[in-house]
Amino acid sequence: MSRMPPLLRLLLSAVAILAAAGVRAEGRLPRSEPVPGGVFVAALHAAPIPPRVTYNGRRVLVVGNERNWYAVVGIPLDARPGKATLVVYEPGRAHTVRFRIRPHHYPTQRITLKNRRMVTPTPEQLQRINRELTRIHSDLRHWSPALHVDVAFRTPLAGALTSPFGARRILNGKPRKPHSGIDIAAPAGTPIRAPAGGTVLDTGDYYFNGKTVFIDHGRGLVTMYCHLSRIDVHRDQRVKGGQIIGRVGRTGRVTGPNLHWGVSLDGALVNPLLFLPKPAVAALRDRDRSARSVSTPTRNSPVAP
């Protein structure tokens, strides 16, 4: 049997070490909840380098190490419940992983906005909105290579969860798209912190979203922060988990100061709460219940018209 040349053996060893050390989850994966707008986590075979995985033709985030790789799949809100398939490409072969998307009921929210143009914009405003949506959608579908992807998120701020993910919105009696993130109410000026490390992909001031920051965490994982009063980071800036990126505000389409937090995974907007530890989720909900007991909490409105 022929021996592998020392240089080739060294190169392959280096690739394996980088893959095992770099593309990993920091001890905690998102909760697997295969519903429309949810996340499906699939354990994959051990391998020296991460396999390539696709879902409906889209690249899927893979994290872990050479002993344990995991596919972390974003399921679009408009996905039909039923059978679904991942394709896993490994050296010399491809195989499938089948799973089932479960049906899920999301609540309906009725919201009254005083500014009618935030519900029915003028033709000129619609032109601006359409330009902005093209840019926003491009940011949310961004994919970049990364040796390190941290999926163990922390809460961006301590506030009250006033609007859940997936809620069907009725604005001034007009049906609008489902809520594609969560709303966290907090006093204006409250610091907003990056939930994990990444690079500032983009910033802007949009008609509906107001002042907004996008963070690229790598390999198709992008987070979005809307309605800020102030942006404290700039494009292409590296940020660490816990670093302040801006302040809570009421810019764009809102009814009070709060943060709209969105998570895009593999190009699909999914429930951010699945990336947080359960005690953090419970704290957000407890603060909302406490706020409801003393006053009417503020809520912001959805990302798209």
pLDDT at 234: 98
- Do 115 and 85 share a domain, yes or no? no
Residue 179, in any domain of the structure: yes
- Do 160 and 234 share a domain, yes or no? yes
- Tens of pLDDT along 21-38? 334 444 589 999 999 999
What residue numbers bound the domain in which 274 lies? 108-294
Instruction: Note the pTM of the prediction, 2 decimals.
Output: 0.85
Q: Which of 101, 135, 167 is the last residue of a domain?
A: 101
Residue 119, in any domain of the structure: yes
- Do 271 and 159 share a domain, yes or no? yes
- Do 185 and 40 share a domain, yes or no? no
Query: Over 60: is that where the pLDDT of 8 sits?
Result: no
- Do 164 and 267 share a domain, yes or no? yes
Q: How confident is the model at residue 294 (pLDDT cuts 50, 70, 90)?
A: low
Query: Over 80: is that where the pLDDT of 120 sits?
Result: no
Residue 301, in any domain of the structure: no
pLDDT at 111: 67
- Do 256 and 129 share a domain, yes or no? yes
- Do 26 and 119 share a domain, yes or no? no
How many Å apart are CA 71 and CA 84, to the nearest integer?
A: 14
Q: Which has the minimum average pLDDT: 7-11, 40-44, 162-166, 271-275?
A: 7-11
- Tens of pLDDT along 234-280? 999 999 999 999 999 999 988 889 999 999 999 999 999 999 999 99
- Do 197 and 285 share a domain, yes or no? yes
Residue 185, in any domain of the structure: yes
- Do 124 and 76 share a domain, yes or no? no
Q: Which of 86, 101, 116 is the last residue of a domain?
A: 101
Q: What integer best gives the mean pLDDT of the chain?
A: 85
pLDDT at 155: 97
How many Å apart are CA 146 and CA 152, to the nearest integer?
A: 16
- Do 29 and 178 share a domain, yes or no? no
- The 3-class SS string of the chain reads CCCCCHHHHHHHHHHHHHHHHHCCCCCCCCCCECCCCCEEEEECCCCCCCCEEEECCEECEEEEECCEEEEEEECCCCCCCEEEEEEEEECCEEEEEEEEECCCCCCEEEECCCCHHHCCCCHHHHHHHHHHHHHHHHHHCCCCCCCCCCCCCCCCCCCEEEECCCCEEEECCEEECCCCCEEEECCCCCEEECCCCEEEEEEEEECCCEEEEEEEEECCEEEEEEEEEEECCCCCCEECCCCEEEEEECCCCECCCEEEEEEEECCEEECHHHHCCHHHHHHHHHHHHHHHHHCCCCCECCCCC
Residue 165, in any domain of the structure: yes
Query: Over 60: is that where the pLDDT of 91 sits?
Result: yes
